[in-house]
Chains A and B, each alone.
Chain A
């Protein structure tokens, strides 16, 4: 039934409260994210899921006037104590709208390693090829690595963004509604990819699409108005929700 004991904890959040301006966006959020599992955040728009996701790699630091209280631990160490550059090389992010840099496909994937100081052409090429293979994109682009990243289709661009995140060899990959801008076929390809990736990476995915959550995630957290209403194994949450609000949401009564 419940294999919680076998799971290692990747992230632990204690009483996270976040506000910017006069909006109190996250209220007393507590959660444990487990290693090498896919954890999904679901909930209606504006409930703070994406904001919470950005706490994991401290991208909220970019927002002016953003105040956070509480603790978020990655591997027993507070996220605030990490050097943000190191943290972000361990925790990668894929964004809602594919955003490859206006450079060649090769340079896009090699960007992260180059910033870390890797200059050896052979090594870079190996990293790029491996990352593209892992992102299920290599076969489609292997003859045109010098082409601009923007010349790919939407779905391919998103897989390119996943490839460049993988190139940094992160331990966690955060995904903020990665398929909401893509067509159904591209979406399926990415979902298949996520199921492959979870063998090597812990994945946290924010999604609007409940069916997607049921298809790919092991654990699901239901957010509403900045609070976690329920957090459980996906199968349990969707078949036997413990909270009435959860039940209302997944049966479509609101949201």
Chain B
């Protein structure tokens, strides 16, 4: 009898039957789970930090205004200065660090590394009175007056006594300056542009974005309008929606294959191109990006209160007028979001364009010619025997910065969209 009373007592003191041990154990488990969670979730941060660190460390030194704006291929020019220079005139050294100055000619040379990771000598400074301003281009016979930032490949010089000697870029800037001081006239000077620039790829990317949007926006917006404004909820509408969803799931390389199959011959016959071109690439990308435009436009239209459509029709407007005057203007934030997302995809797309446009880096950009967008440029740099990380990372920096900005803008538009129809009930 007493045992039973004791049992009842103990449960009354601890009605929820929770023991001290259990609570402690759960606290420890809790802390453990939290730890594990934080660790796992920081993997994402680690990956991003690693990638950005790698890209910026390898690429930031190469990234420069010249890198963005110059040609990829080098152009060579030979010139000469056959009259002897006036030996009595010497030029003052501007004393810039790294500059090897030739006092006789008034020219400064600098050692540097080009985009292909090779050591070259640049012409970095030309005194305004220097005879270097009057070099003659041997092929055209005209005066070459701008030699700054060109690379010296080799120079054949003649001294006052009549000695002829050669100095090349491998000798370095210091030797170059000394040898020039020895020389009295320039028999033959080979200069070349530094190359490795991405101007053409930048242009190609912009053209690609523009052309793709020209094709994708009307089709995508039109489809969204039909689905939201005109279609009834029947089997055909469901099929259309499923097909568009299915389009979003097809890998990009498949789009590339089919784009190469149909659009390249099509554009060839229509626009006189030969093989892949920006146009065929843009057509391929347009089809690939339709789901993004359709989904975002429809989402925006869904936020428009349905009483707007009723009110517009009640005022005697036709369906077409209602669509273009009331629905479409209010769907613009969503259309913008879709456009920005599409632009991000276009800049980053590689596999589809390798097939549908081609992967050879060019310097002339034509709509019916093949050239590379920024991402395909990276692929091309990485594809050969010796991948050029410096240049590729520099381009990657540009892409990542643009992506970051696009992300922010999309977020801002998203916030505006939420608050636009506050106060108007559906």
Contact with B along A164-205 (1 / 0, CB 8 A): 110010000000000001000000000000000000000000
Residue of A nearest to B316 (CB): A89
Q: Is B330 part of the binding interface, using a Cβ–Cβ cutoff of 8 Å?
A: yes
Residue of B nearest to A111 (CB): B315
- Min CB distance, B317 to chain A, in Å? 4
A161 touches B330 (CB 8 A): no
B residues near A102, Cβ cutoff 8 Å:
330, 420-421
A112 touches B316 (CB 8 A): yes
Q: Which stretch from B101-109, B173-181, B303-311, B372-380 is at the chain A interface?
A: B303-311
A99 touches B326 (CB 8 A): no
Contact with B along A44-75 (1 / 0, CB 8 A): 00000000000001010010100000000000
Cα(A64)–Cα(B232), bound, Å: 7
Q: Is B6 part of the binding interface, using a Cβ–Cβ cutoff of 8 Å?
A: no
- Min CB distance, B325 to chain A, in Å? 7
Residue of A nearest to B426 (CB): A97
A residues near B314, Cβ cutoff 8 Å:
57, 59, 88, 92-93, 165
A residues near B423, Cβ cutoff 8 Å:
150
- How many residues does chain A have at the interface if contact means C-beta atoms less than 8 Å apart? 27
- Min CB distance, B34 to chain A, in Å? 46
- Min CB distance, B318 to chain A, in Å? 6
A85 touches B311 (CB 8 A): no
Contacts A101-B326, A111-B325 given; does A88 touch B315 at CB 8 Å: yes
Q: Which residue of the partner chain, among A98, A150, A164, contacts B315 with CB atoms under 8 Å? A: A164
A115 touches B318 (CB 8 A): yes
Residue of A nearest to B326 (CB): A101
Q: Is A3 part of the binding interface, using a Cβ–Cβ cutoff of 8 Å?
A: no
Q: Size band of the B side of the interface?
A: 20 to 34
Cα(A88)–Cα(B310), bound, Å: 11
A165 touches B424 (CB 8 A): no
B313 touches A59 (CB 8 A): yes
Q: Which residue of the partner chain, among B305, B313, B316, B325, contacts A99 with CB atoms under 8 Å? A: B305
B424 touches A161 (CB 8 A): no
Q: Is A116 part of the binding interface, using a Cβ–Cβ cutoff of 8 Å?
A: yes
Q: Is B87 part of the binding interface, using a Cβ–Cβ cutoff of 8 Å?
A: no
- Min CB distance, A211 to chain B, in Å? 24
Contacts A97-B424, A99-B308, A150-B424 given; does A111 touch B233 at CB 8 Å: no
Cα(A62)–Cα(B312), bound, Å: 12
Contacts A99-B308, A101-B308, A111-B325 given; does A62 touch B315 at CB 8 Å: no
A59 touches B310 (CB 8 A): yes
A115 touches B315 (CB 8 A): yes
Contacts A64-B232, A89-B316, A111-B325 given; does A99 touch B420 at CB 8 Å: no
Some 15 contacts from A to B, beta carbons below 8 A apart, are A57-B314, A59-B310, A84-B313, A85-B317, A88-B314, A95-B310, A99-B311, A101-B311, A111-B325, A112-B315, A116-B316, A150-B423, A161-B311, A168-B315, A168-B316
Q: A62-B310, A89-B316, A99-B311 are in contact. List 9 more A-B contacts (CB 8 A).
A: A62-B309, A95-B310, A95-B311, A101-B311, A115-B315, A115-B325, A161-B311, A165-B315, A168-B315
Interface of A with B (CB < 8 Å)?
A: 57, 59, 62, 64, 84-86, 88-89, 92-93, 95, 97-99, 101-102, 111-112, 115-116, 150, 161, 164-165, 168, 181
